[in-house]
Amino acid sequence: MNRYATSPFLLLSTHAHVLIAIAEDPDVRQRELAERVGVTERTVQSVITDLVDNDYLSRTRVGRRNVYAINTRKTLAHPALHQGMVASMLTGVVAWNADDPQEGALLDAARADAGLQELAVLAGRLLHSPFSFIVRREAGAERIVAGDGVPAWLREREIPLEASVCEALEAHAAPLVFADVREHSQALRDCPIAELGFEGFAALPAVAADGQVAGAVCVGDPDPRRWSQAEIHILTSIAVATAAQIAADDLSRRYQAEANRYRALLDSLPETVVLVFDRDLRMQVASGEALERSGFRPDRIVGRTLDEVTTPEKVAAVRPHYVRGLNGERHRFTHAGADGISFVIDIVPLVADDGNVDGVMAIARQQSAAAQRAA
């Protein structure tokens, strides 16, 4: 029995408690996990292995530490909860921290999943269809990402593109609207969704900005059914909304992936600090272990201006360099901290697509002892 339990049973399993703790701190050590959950480190190791093996979690070795990433799109395993995803569960129980980027990522993923789920359910209700679902194209495969009346085993399955709805839509060069799928067996070929047992079927493409089919809104009926023009118009509107949601989700994931890559790089270079400011010198990014050693919590200073995070003396020393960067001048300078440690700082203007500078990045590296003595 977990030593923190105050009742004869645990409302959440040890696996769930470990996942929640990792959601709150992706860099958490196994010793800290064991202390928080109230189990042994060996148990934590076993639980993490289970979570990784079952695609709830991935781990990356950075130096001597593991950094974890949660698969927020993983469908919950219990049959009663198979329509829900990990992101939705975590956002209900993870302690709220408005400054926590991991919390923001979970919320973004939950909103995206919830948005697509609402669209899928709406399609089924408006068209009175027992099967309604949304598929989206991912790397080399298609997957059902939301739906009503769709079993969990099919939602978790990766469908090869050659047997996918998206591929069938592109090959057909038009919406797939069938009164009886059996009369159009070649259109869906070996697509696994046919295993749902529908005969009436309609799929409208969710078209991305580049003209590619990014996904589809699908409805099905176990009996042959002729779809009205009004019903197809409804599906068309839902497909447009689906395309917008997918585009927003993709953008969010790209930013998150870039942030994770930079974070891993910075963790391997502990003496390097990266700061990014907008034109108002409001901090957008703050990363690097040296920040915390200097008394700054990165998650507490992002969103605040330069004047708000340090002393007037330090502001007076560094502001001119950031201003030069905002004016388009890339340069380097040396700055001595209060603890006597000097940093060599590269100022890099951030140029937008329109050619204007919309921010400035400072890359600070601790100066070696020999260099400081020479200076």
Reduced to 3 states (helix: H, G, I; strand: E, B; else coil), residue 59 is strand
Q: What is the CATH number of the domain that holds 315?
A: 3.30.450.20
pLDDT 10s digits, 201-243: 999 999 888 888 889 999 999 899 999 988 998 899 899 888 8
For residue 371, the model assigns a pLDDT of 42
Averaged pLDDT, 67-95: 65
- Asked if residue 289 has pLDDT above 80, the reply is no
Residue by residue, DSSP assigns 278-314 as: ETT-BEEEEE-HHHHHTT--HHHHTTSBHHHHS-HHH
Percent of the chain at pLDDT exceeding 90: 11
- Asked if residue 192 has pLDDT above 80, the reply is no
Is the alpha carbon torsion for 168, 246, 230, 121 positive or negative? positive
Which uninterrupted H or E stretch holds 276?
Answer: strand 272-278
- Asked if residue 32 has pLDDT above 70, the reply is yes
Averaged pLDDT, 106-122: 67
> Do both 117 and 229 map to the same domain?
yes
Closest CA to 190 of 215, 164, 218, 156: 164
- Asked if residue 375 has pLDDT above 60, the reply is no
For residue 281, the model assigns a pLDDT of 93
Last residue of a domain, which of 207, 225, 252?
Answer: 252
Closest CA to 126 of 11, 231, 19, 21: 231
Closest CA to 357 of 332, 323, 331: 323
- Asked if residue 31 has pLDDT above 50, the reply is yes
Contact 118, 124 (CB under 8 A): no
> Do both 56 and 120 map to the same domain?
no
> Do both 142 and 247 map to the same domain?
yes
- Asked if residue 257 has pLDDT above 90, the reply is no
> Do both 357 and 232 map to the same domain?
no
- Give the confidence band of 327 by pLDDT, cuts at 50, 70, 90: very high
Judge whether 91 lies within some domain: no
- Asked if residue 359 has pLDDT above 50, the reply is yes
With a CB cutoff of 8 Å and minimum separation 6, the contacts of 31 are: 41
Averaged pLDDT, 245-250: 78
Contact 188, 168 (CB under 8 A): yes
Lowest mean pLDDT among 248-257, 308-317, 330-339: 248-257
For residue 191, the model assigns a pLDDT of 76
For residue 186, the model assigns a pLDDT of 66
- How far is Cα 170 from Cα 189, in angstroms, rounded to an integer? 13
> Do both 287 and 369 map to the same domain?
yes
For residue 320, the model assigns a pLDDT of 95
Last residue of a domain, which of 220, 252, 284?
Answer: 252
Contact 26, 67 (CB under 8 A): yes
Judge whether 261 lies within some domain: no
- Give the confidence band of 339 by pLDDT, cuts at 50, 70, 90: low
Residue scoring higher pLDDT (75 or 106): 75
- Asked if residue 131 has pLDDT above 90, the reply is no
Question: Distance between alpha carbon 217 and the CA centroid of its chain, in Å?
Answer: 22
Residue by residue, DSSP assigns 12-27 as: S-HHHHHHHHHHH-TT
Judge whether 157 lies within some domain: yes
Domain count, the chain: 3
> Do both 278 and 350 map to the same domain?
yes
- How far is Cα 156 from Cα 171, in angstroms, rounded to an integer? 25
Q: What is the CATH number of the domain that holds 29?
A: 1.10.10.10
> Do both 237 and 139 map to the same domain?
yes
Lowest mean pLDDT among 37-51, 88-102, 156-170: 88-102
Full domain range(s) for residue 316: 269-374
Strands 342-351, 357-366: pairing is antiparallel
Residue scoring higher pLDDT (191 or 160): 160
pLDDT 10s digits, 3-18: 555 556 667 788 888 8
pLDDT 10s digits, 147-161: 888 777 777 678 888
> Do both 366 and 282 map to the same domain?
yes
Last residue of a domain, which of 26, 44, 71?
Answer: 71
Strand order in the sheet with 176-178: 159-160, 141-148, 131-138, 213-221, 200-207, 176-178
Q: What is the CATH number of the domain that holds 129?
A: 3.30.450.40
- How far is Cα 50 from Cα 198, in angstroms, rounded to an integer? 36
CA angle, 284 as apex, 279 and 290 as ends, to 5°? 120
- Asked if residue 362 has pLDDT above 60, the reply is yes
> Do both 222 and 116 map to the same domain?
yes
For residue 219, the model assigns a pLDDT of 93
For residue 37, the model assigns a pLDDT of 86
Contact 150, 131 (CB under 8 A): yes
DSSP letter at 367 equals: P
Here the tokens at position 68 are 């974890």
Here the tokens at position 299 are 């998650």
- How far is Cα 15 from Cα 21, in angstroms, rounded to an integer? 10
Judge whether 284 lies within some domain: yes
